[in-house]
Amino acid sequence: MSVAREQLVVMKFGGTSVEDAKAMGRTAAIVGGRRKKGLETIVVVSAMAKVTDQLLAAAAAAGRGDKAGAMAISARLRNRHTDTATELLDAARFAALEPAIHMEFDALDDLLRGIAAVGELTARTSDLVVSFGERLSSRMVAAAFDQHGLSGVHVDARTCIITDANYGKAVPQGGAIEAKLAEFVLPLIEVGKTPVMGGFIGSTVEGITTTLGRGGSDYTAALVGGGLHAGAIEIWTDVNGIMTTDPRIVPEALRVKSISFEEAAELAYFGAKVLHPATILPAVQKSIPVWVLNSRNAENEGTKITAVAPHCRSPFKCIAAKKKLTIIDIVASRMLMSHGYLKAVFDVLDRYKCVVDMVSTSEVSISLTVDSNERLPEIVEELSKIADVKMEGNKALICMVGEDIRGHNGIAGQVFSAVSHVNVRMISQGASEINMSFMIDEEDVEEAVRSLHRNFFADPDAAIFDVEARVAAGTTA
Ligand code: ADP
Ligand code: ASP
Ligand code: MG
């Protein structure tokens, strides 16, 4: 049987959507609903909520030589997974799965003991430790889907998601992934199965486990959707869709009904955790629509991400905030500010694989913002060889995104008067003209975002934003 690609939907469920047996049950019901509509389903799951953080803590403890601490975390995780499986599955299916869960945890324990004995944690070993989260959750969800008549079948994502060896942030190899999906996943779909894969994890061609970076399960879903030329990619999470800002900061944030690929990519990159920044690209390349949906409120229509942004009366669609940034000020003498100088600065950053978010220059100085990381002191030391360097941590970037910024005059004035009580450091309007960003102190983020939201979403365009929800809740921006 051949599969009509437009009937194929890749559904990704995040950590909270598989956090316990109840959540896994809701996930099964959502997938069942899609199959009843005649769609073919492929499911990508994250580790159960918080498991990735705990595995990283276990790895760090082992790396410090704290074997007891690492083993205690692993024991708690073993209990959580077996308890969840007991509640989730009937006796026969539990009996079939339980040995596999113990086998995974025995392997994890061996690994943690090994790390503790050596007292050193490499990026490669850290990826192996953290991979257990998705390996376990995907096995459990596949068994639950089988029980719910969804023909669930577990596929180890590491057989399909081929990456380079850049541990912790591995780069997927598109062609190899497409070939592996055609070999291992497509035949399952052709016989009506629902393949269930762990997100986030992959392997090198030599079979060494890698990960795609934190939040990377969204990326896996997009790679699988792109590789199989699926008709749609659905990102199921714990909010109604992409909201006008993080609802944890502004509880009255509104759902954005539709947003362009470009806007969504900016937002994701500049801190909106709801979507992994790399998710959009494989979808754009194949023109596959992406939906962001709420697994706790499956009836809600969510956010549709499409090639072209529908016109919006308001200049902005969303406000994102990215914390834990550092500003590096590089001041050179006039003599040094010459041909080749910028290259020398960026060569240093390149050597440390340091990603720069924003740059501003004057005649003798350059200010850069970078993600805070443990190698910053070394970077500053190297840069100090060519200029005077100062570093300021605990900074945050606020990014206002919208394709209609260009159609509105005087927007910058409105933005900065909304945050006039906050100290603004660097300002940039992206070349794409769909974002306006500035740096502030981390401690001012909540206040600035609330103030901007009040100013720009007081009278939202009902064609783009879910205004009905605000009316129903009786709230205002
Ligand atoms: P998952 O585990 O499903 O991948 P994440 O925690 O990675 O979920 O992402 C969902 C969270 O992203 C939401 O709970 C919300 O707090 C946060 N978030 C930040 N910015 C936004 C935004 N603009 N719209 C929606 N959610 C956002
Ligand atoms: N479990 C991984 C993380 O917490 C990947 C993901 O959830 O997307 O980062
Ligand atoms: Mg996520």
Domain boundaries, the chain: 5-238, 318-476
16 alpha carbon, closest ligand: 1
Contact in structure between 325 and 371 (CB atoms under 8 Å): yes
- CATH 3.30.2130.10 assigned to domain 318-476? The reply is yes
Average pLDDT over residues 169-197: 97
Of residues 291 and 430, the one with the higher pLDDT is 291
Residues 71 and 108: their CA atoms lie apart, in Å, by 9
Query: Which among 110, 94, 122 is positioned nearest to 21, based on CA atoms?
Result: 94
Spell out the residues 6+ positions from residue 114 whose beta carbon is closer than 8 angstroms to its own. Answer: none
- pLDDT higher than threshold 70 for residue 471: no
What is the pLDDT, as a whole number, of residue 307? 85
**Which of 225-234, 268-277, 286-295 bottoms out in mean pLDDT, i.e. has the lowest?**
268-277
User: H helices within 392-465, ranges in order?
Assistant: 411-418, 445-456
In this prediction the pTM is 0.93
The answer to whether the beta carbons of residues 150 and 29 sit under 8 Å apart is no
Ligand 1 near 203 CB (within 6 A): no
Selection from 452, 470, 414 nearest residue 318 by Cα: 452
For a ligand 2 pocket test, name from 136, 217, 238, 273 the mutation site with the most ligand atoms within 8 angstroms of its C-beta: 217
Write out pLDDT tens, residues 246-277: 999 999 999 999 999 999 999 998 888 999 98
CA 130 / ligand 2 centre spacing (Å) = 10
Whether the CB-CB separation of 358 and 397 falls below 8 Å is answered with: yes
Ligand 1 atom closest to Cα of 16? 2
How do residues 334-390 score in pLDDT, each as one tens digit? Answer: 555 567 778 888 999 999 888 888 888 877 788 999 987 778 899 999 999 888 999
The CB of 241 under 6 Å from ligand 2? The reply is no
- Taking alpha carbons only, the member of 332, 329, 343 closest to residue 426 is 329
Q: What is residue 359's three-state secondary structure?
A: strand
- Which ligand is located closest to the Cα atom of residue 466? 1
How many CB atoms sit inside 10 A of residue 180's CB?
19
| Region of residue 7 (phi > 0: left; psi between -120 and 50: alpha; otherwise: beta) | alpha
What atom of ligand 2 comes closest to residue 214's alpha carbon?
9
Residues 6+ apart with CB under 8 A from 444: 396, 422, 423
- Between CA 326 and CA 174 the distance in angstroms is 33
Q: Which of 12, 17, 200 to mutate to test the pocket of ligand 2 (most atoms within 8 A of CB)?
A: 200
Output the pLDDT for position 311. Answer: 85
CATH class, range 5-238: alpha beta
3-state SS string for 150-208:
CCEEEECHHHCCEECCCCCCCCECHHHHHHHHHHHCHHHHHCCCEEEEECCEEECCCCC
| Residue 477: pLDDT over 80 | no
User: Which pLDDT score is estimated for 362?
Assistant: 77
Q: Give residue 15's pLDDT.
A: 98
The pLDDT value given to residue 147: 96
Task: State both tokens at 230.
Answer: 């699926």
**Would you place residue 333 in the very low, low, confident or very high pLDDT band (cuts 50, 70, 90)?**
low
CA distance 254 to 349: 38
pLDDT confidence tier of residue 308, bands split at 50, 70 and 90: confident
Query: In a 3-state reduction of DSSP, which class is residue 419?
Result: coil
